[in-house]
Structure 1
């Protein structure tokens, strides 16, 4: 189970790096190359959305079927274990949401840059006429 969260953490970290690289100011030639490279990776990387959604469903299911430890019958150890599992679940929800949101941001940044490039080409053609 921990391997899934480790993989998701690395993917989110990679998405952060990609988003930072895409938003840095580069000359247009370098920017076009970076955007085209990231655009090639975007379609296979879309699986992160499905993976994170599956993990969110798993967290929800476990939360609905978790034994609650709120009565006075529970020992301090059981209460600590329960609170720790709640904190882990909250952290994992934030991780899943960050993965989906960062993928969407990277997609929109690439789309924006491609649209900008198309508009610049149309402007050049219009000026040439």
Structure 2
């Protein structure tokens, strides 16, 4: 299970880096080429949405079937283990939500950049006529 969370962490870090690079000011030619490159990567990278959704379902199932350790019989070590697992699952839920949100953000940034490029081309054609 740790490998899945490590992969998701790396994907979120890469998405965050891409989002930052897309929003940095750059020359128009460089920006357009970078946006087109990221747009080509977006379709295969869509796997992250169902992957994160599956991880969320896994967290939900484990949460529903987790042994409760709230009684007086539990030792301090058992209680610590229970709380640690709760914190880990909360962290993982945030990670899954961040993966989906960052993917959507990158998609929208690329779409806006392409729309701006198309409008600039239309404006240039109208001025030439």
TM-score by length of 2: 0.99
Residue of structure 2 in register with 1:86 after alignment: 86
List alignment gaps of at least 5 residues for structure 1: none
Q: 1:70 Cα shift?
A: 0.7
Instruction: State how far apart, in whole Å, the 2-side matches of 1:24 and 1:105 are.
Output: 14
Residue of structure 2 in register with 1:120 after alignment: 120
Residue of structure 1 in register with 2:4 after alignment: 4
Q: 1:73 Cα shift?
A: 1.1
* 1:43 equivalenced with 2:43 (yes/no): yes
Q: Over residues 42-99 of structure 1, what are the superposed CA-to-partner deviations in whole Å (9 max), with x where a residue is unaligned?
A: 0000000110010000000100110111111111111000000000000000000000
TM-score by length of 1: 0.99
Instruction: State how far apart, in whole Å, the 1-side matches of 2:108 and 2:70 are.
Output: 44
Instruction: State how far apart, in whole Å, the 1-side matches of 2:116 and 2:29 are.
Output: 13
List alignment gaps of at least 5 residues for structure 2: none
Tell me, what secondary structure is at the counterpart of 1:110?
Answer: helix
State the superposition RMSD in angstroms.
0.5
Tell me, what secondary structure is at the counterpart of 1:46?
Answer: helix
Report runs of 4+ in structure 1 exceeding 3 Å deviation: none
* 1:27 equivalenced with 2:27 (yes/no): yes
The count of residues paired between Structure 1 and Structure 2 equals 129
Q: 1:125 Cα shift?
A: 1.0
Q: 1:24 Cα shift?
A: 0.5
Residue of structure 1 in register with 2:14 after alignment: 14
